[in-house]
Amino acid sequence: MGFVHFANGCIMGPFLEYIDYKNWVELKDHYAKMPTGDFTTVVPAMKRLGTGIVVMLFHMFLTLYLGFSIYFCGSLEYRTYKTFLHRCGFFLVAMTS
């Protein structure tokens, strides 16, 4: 039932054979060295969470405090904003944030 109703297989792919699914559940073959859920997986997850929070704060700083909004790039005022290089730099920072 777990293989039949495995949502990722039918929605996003890629194709998953039953033997691969069974080996993953039983931690056999090339899944034998996979971390099993003790504290070996918590530390990388917390690092990723911390990175996400830092990036979110950086995005909020650029858009709310400094005003690098992507919506400004689509306005008529943007077409006459300073020089072409300033517009390219503004667009680069707005798209990055």
Quick one: CA dihedral 75, 79, 83, 86, positive or negative? Answer: positive
Q: Residue 39: its pLDDT value, please? A: 72
Q: Residue 65: its pLDDT value, please? A: 92
Per-residue confidence of the chain (97 residues) as pLDDT tens digits? Answer: 666 666 666 666 667 778 888 888 898 988 888 877 677 778 888 999 999 999 999 999 999 999 898 888 888 999 898 999 999 999 999 988 8
Q: Residue 48: its pLDDT value, please? A: 94
**Per-residue DSSP letter, 97:** -
Q: How many Cβ atoms sit within 10 Å of the Cβ of residue 62? A: 16
Q: Residue 4: its pLDDT value, please? A: 65
Q: Residue 19: its pLDDT value, please? A: 87
Q: Residue 49: its pLDDT value, please? A: 95
